[in-house]
Structure 1
Amino acid sequence: MRHILAGLALSSTLVAHAWAGQPANIYGVNLGSWLVLEPWMLPQGWLDMGGESCADCSTCIASEWSFAKAYPDTVDATFAGHWDTWFTQNDVNTLKAAGINTVRVPLGYWIVEALVDRSHEYYPRGGLNYLRRGLGWLQDAGIQAILDHHALPGVQTAGQMFTGNCTNDVQFYTPYNYHRALVWTAVMTTLAHLDPTFGSVFAIEAMNEPIMNAAQTPNYGTFQKNFVQTIRAVELTLGIPVPSSSPFASLSVSISNNFTAALNATSKATVFSPEVQSALADAVPILLEIGIQCGLQSEFEASPFWKPRTSLVANFMDVNWQYNNPANPADVAIGPQAYDNHLYYSFGGVADANPTAYLTSICNLTRIQSDAAVGNSPLWFGEWGLSTQFNATDDFLYQWADAQKLAYSKGAGWLYWNFKTEISSLTNGNALARQWSYLEALELGYMTQDPAALHDPNVCKPYINGTSKSTS
């Protein structure tokens, strides 16, 4: 399935085109709280595991880090139980039946366990086996996958459960942690091409939701450049060509049946930055270890690896995610690249808190055009939902779902946050799921059984060119 969006090179068009007979638009969901657990989405389940609930998530056991630190002897078994039950084969069957063609898989850097410094970092072990199993299910179902680096080493944003460590001590934007993220990228790129269970993967996202103020993300632009180089260096080693205009197009790489040896040779190529060379070299022993653990020694060390393959899509949050003169990821593109934007009205700052303002804002959305103007196209909306700042009626949520789908489908498509959330007494029945769970919204009828369909194709007609206090 990797070829689906591989042809999406940078262009000035607003809509993603179909490639190799595949659908033009992404209709997707996030697999949130599976391999990066966010307790707010399953509050009773979290308490049952042994977690805690508090107003400030940095002050109690409210993240994977704090849980692993509190329960070092049982954390792996406890999380294995969660991974085994939160996302299942039955969920895949349900998503396929609902017409979902893409999932975004949030991952922490600790899925590559060798990157964790156990002297002071605390995370559960064993997630890679569950990722491989889940990706295999998705591949069998014909559902494509985006590997989203959701929680980065050192934490990329303060005070968020989604980073795996709810802390205000943000340390990602340092040479050490940029390096670890590049090693992660090299490992994931290799698995995406050589591990048969990763066959549904077509894109890797560099970072979920960096700090919006670019002044607080030093050298992020250099990281973007090195992220792309890391993916393409691995792919050049695999015999996947880069555009002829690339400075790496004429690179001569080792041809043998030992991929890890060939990658080690590539790591010495001075056409790549020293940071990329170092990341490639450090990925080799990690891949050898994963090969032993996952039965991939033949793929990594003893099989012809020069086979017809298609480049992965390098994926970034769009340049307009940040302010204060951010680096533009379009400037570092080598091969296929796509962009991600997240839009939640429930956190404020987008439109006034009433139905008319919401619909006026979304029906006049200009983010796709604004991104295309600076080369950030194709653009998909990797996170959105039905949550509001007011008490939304059922009638409004039908409109709200339609209007957002209509707006986002003018780009490369959308991925709803989340595929499901808990329904329990702690969530007031389905009150949480009603606006945050795609499957519950489908059950309630806000979402259509065909994700491309709308209840009312004219939902935006009364609001086009309307006026509203909005920053859309």
Structure 2
Amino acid sequence: MQHLVALLTSFALFTAAAAVASPPSKIYGVNLGSWLVLEAWMLPQEWLDMGGTSSSCCAGCISDEWSFAQAYPNTVDEIFDTHWSTWFTEDHVQQLQADGINAVRIPLGYWIVEPLVNRSSEYYPRGGIKQLQRGVQQLQDAGIVVILDHHALPGVQTANQQFTGHCTSDVEFYTPYNYHRALVWTAVMTALSHLDPAFGNVFAIEAVNEPIMDANQTPGYGEFQINFVQTVRAVELILGIPVPDVTLPFSLGTSNTTAAFMKVAAANSTSLPAIFNPNVTAALAEAGPILLQVAAELASPSVLDFTSTQAPVFSSKTPLWTNFMDVNWQYDNPPNPANAAIGPQGYDNHLYYNYGGVADPNPDAYMYSICNLQRVQADAALGDTPLWFGEWGLPTQFDATDEFLYMWADAQKMAYTEGAGWIFWNFNVEKSTLAGNLSRQWSYLDGVNYGFLTKDPAAYHNASVCDPYYYNTTSA
């Protein structure tokens, strides 16, 4: 305890606070995929040069961050720091700004909050949070807002996927222990978004990227959705940020974030609002000391201190948007994240045709499908609105001509802007002999250069592209 008190008093008061951004009226965005959660299939040559093996394998090879860190424990941090520094740079920020991008979604692993990692049994590179701070500041300087996407969850949320950081069939996220770790992550990232000025362009935090689609295989996920929202709002309430219909019934008596978290976590539950349930207070209790370590790593004393709850700078701030994959992402009676909402909340859907199961593999079938898409309306009927499409791209199951890709880009953009907008996967893809023609349909920057994607993301090559494909609703 003496060590904790010494750390608490070792930082001078710093009352400058990040201003939370607002989402654009229409999102035109890109993902920063393979930056802070590396997916080897998007950079096969670099992955081999780093020391990985085939980018197409899963288990039994060096195919992901886990297996790489396990194979190279003494050099992984240095190697990944080089990757982080070169995969996403200021030049990319300037290109995205010039191309009219107004939002980015940043896939993150739970290990970016390093104290959450069990180093004896889990293997990930260290130092990513400093790169995240660098990147969000560069994006903020360019006027681009950010969604922090919890893309790779503790215990792994989906089997056999590189995007989880550990390509394994052993899925253990849907357990009390890992739900708790995800809530601690949420508390830390919420505090950073409000307190570190570099994170001032963050407007949303996404709870879980692509959980298992069968709701029977995700026990406890509905309760986690509620706890996720309540954790975000609990942190905001502690910081003095107004939360709809909820107030703290007592004065905190401190402007130190860690001390405030711990005081609330230790309070009598009957004296606290209902959002401070035992899952939330347990997350706050663990997140408080972690913030000391994060602040030191980021050289950001503002993470530790906030002004009093009466201070105008905080009482006039707005809450972050909480963000979930939409209810229709799952089947078999899934929980509806709309039931968890407190304050602003957005919903995410991902749509890729190239993996099959959406439309027959030919141009006409693709166009009929996308031009008559009803996902925005189906979600809205269940309260999941506003909806943005957080992942999509130009890949197809067939050899697409340039002529078709012009149409395909226009039609998808048109469908997705019926909702809150779209976020393309991915901002960039490796160009190499080994990668072949991958960037033609997966890279936003190359899509603009090829001309498939318009320089102005709100524009179309042909605003009537869907006219021949709309169904006759009176007969169809």
Q: What is the TM-score of this pair, normalised by structure 2?
A: 0.91
| Aligned-partner SS, 2:140 | helix
Contact preservation (8 Å) 1:30, 1:417: yes
**CA distance in 2 between partners of 1:91 and 1:28 (Å):** 13
**CA distance in 2 between partners of 1:253 and 1:227 (Å):** 24
1:456 aligns with 2:465: no
Give the structure 2 partner of residue 432 of structure 1: 438
1:283 aligns with 2:287: yes
| Aligned-partner SS, 1:352 | coil
Give the structure 1 partner of residue 11 of structure 2: none
Deviations 1:74-129, CA, capped at 9 Å, x for gaps: 00000000000000000000000000000000000000000000001000000000
Deviations 1:39-96, CA, capped at 9 Å, x for gaps: 0000000000000006531121000000000000000000000000000000000000
**CA distance in 2 between partners of 1:144 and 1:299 (Å):** 20
Deviations 1:178-207, CA, capped at 9 Å, x for gaps: 000000000000000000110110000000
Deviations 1:329-351, CA, capped at 9 Å, x for gaps: 00010000000000000000000
Match of 1:342 among 350, 363, 386: 350
Give the structure 2 partner of residue 125 of structure 1: 126
| Aligned-partner SS, 2:447 | helix
* Structure 2 residue identity aligned to 1:460: C
**CA distance in 2 between partners of 1:55 and 1:43 (Å):** 9
Give the structure 2 partner of residue 252 of structure 1: 250
How many angstroms does 1:301 deviate by?
Answer: 3.6
| Aligned-partner SS, 2:304 | helix
Contact preservation (8 Å) 1:253, 1:262: no
Contact preservation (8 Å) 2:192, 2:303: no
Q: Which runs of 5+ in 2 are unaligned?
A: 1-18
**CA distance in 2 between partners of 1:320 and 1:302 (Å):** 39
**CA distance in 1 between partners of 2:290 and 2:335 (Å):** 31
Match of 2:430 among 405, 422, 426: 422
Contact preservation (8 Å) 1:311, 1:335: yes
* Structure 2 residue identity aligned to 1:115: L
Q: Percent identity?
A: 64
Aligned residues: CA RMSD: 1.5
**CA distance in 2 between partners of 1:448 and 1:112 (Å):** 37
| Aligned-partner SS, 2:346 | strand
Deviations 1:275-308, CA, capped at 9 Å, x for gaps: 1110000000100111222222354147557423
1:354 aligns with 2:354: no
| Aligned-partner SS, 1:235 | helix
State how 1:19-30 maps to structure 2 within 5 Å. 23-30=24-31
State how 1:146-185 maps to structure 2 within 5 Å. 146-185=147-186
- Counterparts in 2 of 1:233 and 1:87: CA distance versus 1, 3 Å: same
| Aligned-partner SS, 1:267 | helix
Match of 2:339 among 321, 328, 331: 331
Q: What is the TM-score of this pair, normalised by structure 1?
A: 0.92
Give the structure 2 partner of residue 73 of structure 1: 74
| Aligned-partner SS, 1:341 | strand
**CA distance in 1 between partners of 2:425 and 2:351 (Å):** 10
**CA distance in 1 between partners of 2:393 and 2:305 (Å):** 44
Deviations 1:404-459, CA, capped at 9 Å, x for gaps: 0000001000000000000100122xx10001000000000000010000000000
* Structure 1 residue identity aligned to 2:352: Y
Give the structure 2 partner of residue 116 of structure 1: 117
Give the structure 2 partner of residue 263 of structure 1: 261
**CA distance in 2 between partners of 1:142 and 1:304 (Å):** 29
Deviations 1:102-161, CA, capped at 9 Å, x for gaps: 000000000000000000100000000000000000010000000000000000000000
Contact preservation (8 Å) 1:54, 1:60: no
Match of 1:405 among 404, 413, 426: 413
Deviations 1:366-397, CA, capped at 9 Å, x for gaps: 00000000000000000000000000000000
Contact preservation (8 Å) 2:195, 2:302: no
Give the structure 2 partner of residue 91 of structure 1: 92
**CA distance in 2 between partners of 1:94 and 1:304 (Å):** 40
**CA distance in 1 between partners of 2:300 and 2:56 (Å):** 44
- Counterparts in 2 of 1:260 and 1:315: CA distance versus 1, 3 Å: same
Give the structure 1 partner of residue 297 of structure 2: 293
Contact preservation (8 Å) 1:103, 1:144: yes
How many angstroms does 1:262 deviate by?
Answer: 1.4
**CA distance in 2 between partners of 1:312 and 1:159 (Å):** 32
**CA distance in 1 between partners of 2:385 and 2:95 (Å):** 31
- Counterparts in 2 of 1:196 and 1:165: CA distance versus 1, 3 Å: same
State how 1:92-107 maps to structure 2 within 5 Å. 92-107=93-108
**CA distance in 2 between partners of 1:74 and 1:457 (Å):** 51
* Structure 2 residue identity aligned to 1:198: F
| Aligned-partner SS, 2:388 | strand
**CA distance in 2 between partners of 1:34 and 1:299 (Å):** 24
**CA distance in 2 between partners of 1:108 and 1:336 (Å):** 24
Q: Which runs of 5+ in 1 are unaligned?
A: 6-22, 468-472
When the two structures are aligned, how many residues end up with a matched partner?
Answer: 446
Contact preservation (8 Å) 1:233, 1:266: no
Match of 2:319 among 311, 316, 338: 311
**CA distance in 1 between partners of 2:184 and 2:323 (Å):** 17
**CA distance in 2 between partners of 1:293 and 1:133 (Å):** 13
Give the structure 2 partner of residue 9 of structure 1: none
| Aligned-partner SS, 2:434 | helix
